Chains A and B, each alone.
Chain A
Amino acid sequence: MIVPALLAGCSVGGAAPEAGLGSAGGSAAGPTEMATCPAQPVPPTPLRRLTRFEYQNAAADLLHVDASAAQELPADEITSSFDNNAGVLTVSALHAEKYVLVSEALAKRAVQNVAELTGCAADEACAVNFARRFGRRAFRRPLSAADEQALLTAYRAGATGGTHAEGIEVMIRAALQSPHFLYRLELTSPTDTRAQVLLSQFELATRLSFSIWGSGPDDALLDAAERGELASKSQVAARARAMLAEPRGRAAVTHFFEQWSGTRRLATTSKSSTAFPGFTPALRDAMAAELPALVEHVLWSGDRSVRALLTTPSVFVNAASADVYGVAGPAGSAPGLVLAQPPVEHGRSGLLTLAGFLAVQGHPDQTSPVLRGKFVRAMLMCEPPAPPPPDVDISLPELQEGATARDRLAAHQAAGASCSGCHALMDPIGLAFESFDAIGRYRDAENGQPLDTSGEIMGAGEAALSGRFGNVRELGEKLAASAQVRACLASQWFRFAAGRGEVEGDACSLEAMKRAFEASEGDVVELIVASTQTDAFWFRSPYRP
């Protein structure tokens, strides 16, 4: 948790220093002037291996081919909702095997038109030239002579006794298996023992591109680093804004929201075919496309605000999902989603009522007011309730004719006083969602009983956030107006961008992000830009022997 005392002496939110770095792409002579809190050591920053998502994006950008072969890599371990926690992303034998096989599949694809790929004649001079250009993007920095030699050694393993194309193919395999591709190495100042090690501009470019594009830097970004144009915070902020405006900017940001909301789990979500016969593969695909559509709608076509994310009454449907929302679907079976306005009385409220969200925050056979309430509590309010004590029957009493989930939860709570404390934090929130079933379809009754969709937030850290509301829509408005929710979202972005959980030493960085987010009234783009201005972004911890 963040200890306010740690902030003493910190000039949070002050004017960004404009001191330039030393040599282009190199580290600074005097890094401390770049720090917001120069006295605060940078918490340990573990080496980050690319996630499967990042690998696939980076390979596709690097080779200009469909890189879906990367899906052969094992799925990444999920920690605190995110798949990029560096602490647990190690390389097992399965990874090592797939790194070989996937690189071979991708390289084979890439050299199908080798002349187009390399843009030069089929000889070793071309290989050298290609190694420099391609290697720079693969390793996210200019190559050393040794790097170049290594790639040429690989080239010769293919070209000698083979063809130029085969040589390029082996060179690509070698690059994709290299630690310089698979890890985000930050090796510019290995012997710097200061508590804050300033990153080189190439390393900053790499952090920027993975947090905004979910991929490695392109030539333009590397050129900027090489020219020394990522030397000041304002330069990096401007670059971040420009990168977010590009189509690629949607990928990583959407990926963040998919993990945060849990909708990434749709691909492996099952629903009972007796309870929900309508949960077809086509509907599941439509659900999976909803969050990207919402993010697009709010962040790239709208006002970029958390408020809109949590309250927009519009939905996104295709022919497979229109019925769930009670709207007329588009003609035809095109998978793309179109904007639609569901009946106002359904009270749709942005992300909170996306069918895909409601489906993953539930059970295969029934809704879960508990899970939905827990999501609001843990992921929007950052106040995770304590889980159930042992020796507790956590199944809801059997469904009786005429009973609603509210009745069942009440019975459940009455049965065990030990549960009621924590459930009081979740259930009265989750019950508001009962107007939507476990695949997100609107309903006004359960088992013939009219639904009471009122609810209450109890004991919120921010006093104003506590209180009653009439339905999910009002809940959405309440959350959208909350500083606590904005602060929570800022911490979630921090975890995602830093690839680790926040610790006390991050207070300075987190506070700066929260202030910027507040000042912009919850503008998500401003939050992301603010994250690129923090000490956590500009520095790493020193290497300890």
Chain B
Amino acid sequence: MSYLTRRNLLRGGLAATAALPLLDARRAVGQDAAPTRLVVFATPNGTRNDLFWPTGSETSFQLNQLTAPLEPHKSKLTFLKGIRLNDSLQNGALGGTLGSEHARGTGGMLTARPLNAGREFQSFGNTTSGWGSGQSIDQYLAEQLAPPTTFKSLQLGVHVRDTEVRARISYSASNQPIPPREDPKDVFSALFGAAAPGGDTDAELERLWAQRKSVFDLTRAEMNRIQQLVGAEDRARLDAHLTAMRDVEQRLVKVSGMPGLEPTASCSPPSLTEVDLSVDDQYEQAGRLQMDLAAAALACDQTRILTLQWSYAESEHLFQFLGHSGNHHVISHDFSPSGTNFEAYNAIQTWYAEQLAYFLSKLDGYQEGDRTLLDNTLVLWATEIGESTQHDLTLMPYVLAGSAGGKIAAGRLLDFSQNRRDNNQLLVSLAHALGADDLQSFGDESGASGPLPGLV
């Protein structure tokens, strides 16, 4: 890996984790617990219940067709059957009227809140809608837990491409969607610093950091001054900007005299290969790179909160590389219980499960003391709707992987079908698993408070 010079590491994100090898050493002798991480793995266009859910009992179950690729990880999975989106996100009769199910399910996935009212999105709504109306759980946790990592959270995407409401799952606040990074080269640069401009000597690097700091200071001072002049809404806008600056400053501005960093076995950048992000047929290659980078970011403790989003809700992605010619969204709405689209849909959903399996294997390959990185992580596999032909939102196909460092007893099929739980409760449970124990409720009030029973 020619990119991986000490200077490049210093230039990029890893510079801020210069103490990492030490941390690793402490972990190896059991002196320091490995951190707990959260990953959201989001794929589009729902599922098909009768081929998705495992059969059997809570602790003894068989995987179904669409999740068969996850068999090697079965003991580390938790299927959460019987979770519905709360009333504010439901179909019209149950109260949710803002935006289409695809858009609502996307905006509500991690916020448990309805979309804002508005006429901004007319094309995809039962009525119309604006953008998401509040903070998502990943951002809440990044703020509450304030992990000492280079990236408070990291949003990665694979062929997301779309920039409308149906393509954003992460929100800092109402009307503040967070765009994902979709280019592996860009992610690599951010994590490992190879592409950041700068000089060739340590002295030049330190100079660059000092200059960046000067500019940050000037910008911040001026923004603070302007905040005193403008109205409340613009002040909030500038506040978000200042927060974002604080987030990046710690990784773009370093201090001099930092100890050197050498890559360790458990923390090294993946190799990059060329992909054409505009070509649907290279979906898997692009996805692999993003998953490799995500795993490296977690292993290197660059971030503990990460979202990995595949395409956009209502995706029309093509799967010719699987031998199917139709587009995913149209395929997903074919009621026929057999035939071309039936086969194609099953193949696509199974393919997504294969991608998740690859990612889980990757995480499971990092040893952290007597656990693996996967054990120390909680991965939520989510999609914006349930039964795809129905735009159903009352039985969401949620699966967890990993155990958040032992907080979750995995290898279970939890079935709430007889007493449906709201997605708010899942988000509260995620927070508890990550250590935000005080959280009682999250999201819209129409959803139940408290965690999912028997999970964490």
Q: Which residues of A contact B (CB under 8 A)?
A: 44, 46-47, 49, 72, 74-80, 83, 85, 87-88, 90-97, 100-101, 104-105, 108, 150, 153-154, 157-158, 161-162, 170, 173-174, 177-180, 185, 187, 190, 267-268, 270, 272-275, 363-365, 374, 378, 384, 386-387, 389-391, 393-396, 398, 501, 541-545
Contact = CB atoms under 8 A, between A and B. Distances in A.
B131 A364 contact: no
Nearest to B236: A90
Nearest 8 interchain pairs by C-beta = A543-B231, A96-B244, A91-B241, A157-B214, A190-B229, A93-B247, A47-B234, A384-B122
Contacts of B248: 93, 96-97, 100
B207 interface: yes
Contact of B161 (A72, A158, A268): A268
Contacts of A178: 218-219, 222
Contacts of A100: 212, 215, 248, 252
Contacts of A398: 334, 336, 339-341
Contact of A387 (B124, B186, B207, B334): B124
Interface in B112-160: 118-126, 128, 130-131, 151-152, 155
Contacts of B306: none
B270 interface: no
B73 interface: no
Contacts of A273: 281, 320
A71 to B, nearest CB: 10
Nearest to B161: A268
Contacts of B221: 150
Contacts of B223: 179
Range for the number of chain B residues in contact with chain A: 35 or more
Contacts of A157: 210-211, 214-215
B330 A78 contact: no
A158 B211 contact: yes
Interface string B149-191: 0011001000001111000100010011111010000100010
Interface of B: 91-92, 100-101, 118-126, 128, 130-131, 151-152, 155, 161-164, 168, 172, 175-179, 181, 186, 190, 196-197, 207, 210-212, 214-215, 218-219, 221-223, 226, 229-234, 237-238, 240-241, 244-245, 247-248, 251-252, 278-281, 316-318, 320, 325-327, 330-331, 333-336, 339-341, 389-391
B130 to A, nearest CB: 8
Contacts of A92: 172, 176, 178-179, 240, 244
Given A77-B164, A268-B278, A270-B318, A363 B330 contact: yes
A87 B101 CA distance: 23
Contacts of A161: 207
Given A75-B163, A173-B215, A47 B230 contact: yes
A93 B119 CA distance: 28
Contacts of B316: 270, 363-364
A472 to B, nearest CB: 21
Given A174-B215, A394-B333, 20 more contacts: A79-B120, A85-B120, A90-B175, A154-B218, A173-B215, A179-B223, A179-B238, A185-B226, A268-B278, A363-B330, A365-B318, A365-B330, A384-B128, A386-B126, A387-B123, A387-B124, A390-B92, A395-B333, A395-B334, A543-B231
Contacts of B335: 393, 395
A212 B323 CA distance: 47
B391 A96 contact: no
A170 B320 contact: no
A77 B230 contact: no
Contacts of B126: 386-387, 389-390
B176 A101 contact: no
B318 A75 contact: no
Contacts of B215: 100, 154, 157, 170, 173-174, 177
Given A378-B122, A395-B341, A274 B325 contact: yes
Q: Which of B221, B233, B234, B389 has the most chain A CB atoms inside 10 A of its CB? A: B234
B123 A365 contact: no
Nearest to A104: B197
A364 B190 contact: no
B230 A190 contact: yes
A17 B147 CA distance: 59
Given A274-B320, A378-B123, A83 B163 contact: yes
Contacts of B391: 390-391
A101 B11 CA distance: 12
Contact of A545 (B151, B210, B232): B232
Contacts of A386: 126
Contact of A78 (B155, B164, B326): B164
A363 B237 contact: no
A542 B234 CA distance: 12
Given A154-B215, A268-B278, A95 B244 contact: yes
Contacts of A542: 231
21 contacts: A47-B238, A75-B163, A77-B164, A90-B240, A91-B240, A92-B176, A92-B179, A94-B181, A101-B197, A154-B218, A158-B211, A174-B218, A187-B229, A190-B230, A270-B279, A363-B330, A364-B318, A364-B327, A384-B122, A384-B128, A387-B124
A80 to B, nearest CB: 5
Contacts of A272: 318, 320, 325, 327
Given A153-B214, A179-B223, A365-B327, A75 B179 contact: yes
B32 to A, nearest CB: 27
B179 A544 contact: no
Contact of A267 (B92, B130, B278, B336): B278
Contacts of A96: 241, 244-245, 247-248
B196 A101 contact: yes
